[in-house]
Amino acid sequence: MLKIRLKRLGRKKQPFYRIILIDSRNKRDGKAIKEIGFYNPLSKNHQLDITTINKKIKQGAQITKTVKKIINKYYK
């Protein structure tokens, strides 16, 4: 099963996240199938490929609650 979720990067107390498409059985920071965008909560920078996200959801990928909140906050 494919999921659209966050992958944590950055230093201690300075998180930076990539929004990725990954198999649900892999680790949080495991190898991604595809990187769809990024999100930085400290500087409020974000960039998402909404068309790819919608396409993958229609193909059966599930989206996590956190990524869904990010999408709703910045893209609706």
**What are the residue boundaries of the structural domains of the chain, listed by start?**
2-75
d(Cα 43, Cα 50) in Å, to the nearest integer?
Answer: 21
> Residue 60 in 3-state DSSP?
coil
pLDDT in tens, 25-53: 888 777 889 999 999 999 988 999 999 99
> What percentage of the chain reaches a pLDDT higher than 90?
79
- Mean pLDDT for 59-73 is 94
The DSSP output letter for 69 is H
**CATH superfamily of this structure's domain 2-75:** Ribosomal protein S16 (3.30.1320.10)
Burial class (CB in 10 A: 0-12, 13-18, 19+), 55: exposed
Per the CB < 8 A criterion, the answer to whether 48 and 34 are in contact is no
- pLDDT confidence of residue 14: 95
